[in-house]
Amino acid sequence: MQQVKHGDTIQVHYHGKLNDGATFDSSEGRNPLEFEVGSGMVIPGFDAGVTGMTIGEKKTIVIPAEEAYGPRMEDMIMEFPKAQFPPDMVAEVGMQLNMSNGSGQQFPVRIVEVKEEVVVLDANHPLAGETLNFDLELVAITNSKSMIIMP
pLDDT at 128 exceeding the cut of 80:
yes
Helix (H) / strand (E) element for 106: namely: strand 106-114
pLDDT at 146 exceeding the cut of 70:
no
Work out the burial of residue 100: count CB atoms within 10 Å of its CB; fewer than 13 is exposed, 13-18 middle, 19 or more buried.
exposed
Class of domain 9-69+128-149: alpha beta
Q: What is the pTM of this model?
A: 0.81
DSSP assignment letter at 32: P
Side chain identity, residue 31: N
Q: What is the CATH number of domain 74-122?
A: 2.40.10.330
Domain ranges of the chain: 9-69+128-149, 74-122
User: What residues does 10 pair with on adjacent strands?
Assistant: 35, 141
- In our burial notation (b when 16+ CB lie closer than 10 A, e otherwise), range 61-75 reads bebebebbbeeeeee
What integer is the mean pLDDT of 82-95?
Answer: 91
pLDDT at 1: 79
Domains 9-69+128-149 and 74-122 share a fold: no
Report the range of poorest mean pLDDT among 39-43, 75-79, 92-96, 101-105: 101-105
pLDDT at 71 exceeding the cut of 80:
yes
Q: Count CB-CB contacts under 10 A for residue 144.
A: 8
Q: Count CB-CB contacts under 10 A for residue 134.
A: 21
**CA pair distance 81, 85, nearest whole angstrom:** 7
